[in-house]
Structure 1
């Protein structure tokens, strides 16, 4: 059986790389790690989330925006933040509007939602000690 250790990257296709970099690097603080060219043109670039997790950005997306929430396919990515209130103040200062205000999720974690310039939905989540995920992690650690 395959053992997966983490999500290494999430890939998105975008319409405007510079606008995307302004959002993810300029407003969310992700650093560009590298670019790969193919046939003399930008093929993809990597943005750092952690040392082992990346956002892979492909240029030349077609269409106006990402698929709607109920469409089959990629729905959203979730970025964990240490303190959701601090994160929301930083986003407000950077001019990033919320598409869904801060609320307690059904899983017991604080969450709020934004979207990037191409309409990719991003959940911001503060993991709470009594959340369903934290309890499941504790159970799994105890059972070995």
Structure 2
């Protein structure tokens, strides 16, 4: 098994699409009329498959009923934040840099969902692995 994608309910399809495209997502396709609303499928340029589905219907999005945050890997935090700022998207709070060079920052989409931007230190794997986490104490932790 593997994770396919995450579906995010959005209030304004146009604003949300502009935001996710500013981060770097590309539209793969749309399914305009489904029982859950208009679906827009997105992926990042280095992704092979759809990773985000924007779901738009007439119901308002209620904060707290969607997700905590998405995480997007960036090559250069400085370049990414500069590019986002040029489109009116500012960080949602201060960023963080660890001693080993891991850099993180958050931005918020038009519905207030946090998107965590991550720049791995040189030589790090493309994704998170068990080596990035503290050792497990026992199986009851998670």
TM norm structure 2:
0.73
| Paired residues, number | 128
| Residues 1:90 and 2:108 are matched in the alignment | no
Structure 1 unaligned blocks of 5 or more: 138-144
**In the alignment, which residue of structure 2 is the partner of 1:12?**
8
**In the alignment, which residue of structure 1 is the partner of 2:93?**
100
Superposed, 1:101-140 pairs within 5 Å as: 101-104=94-97, 109-129=102-122, 133=128, 136=131
Name the structure with the higher strand share.
1
Q: Contact 1:127–1:134 (CA<8 Å) still a contact in 2?
A: no
User: Taking structure 1 as reference, are residues 12 and 105 closer, same or farther at Cα in structure 2, changes over 3 Å only?
Assistant: farther
SS of 1:101 mapped into structure 2: coil
User: Taking structure 1 as reference, are residues 8 and 89 closer, same or farther at Cα in structure 2, changes over 3 Å only?
Assistant: same
Structure 2 unaligned blocks of 5 or more: 133-142
Residue 61 of structure 1: how far off its partner (Å): 6.3
Residue 101 of structure 1: how far off its partner (Å): 2.2
Residue 33 of structure 1: how far off its partner (Å): 1.0
SS of 2:110 mapped into structure 1: coil
TM norm structure 1:
0.72
Name the structure with the higher helix share.
1
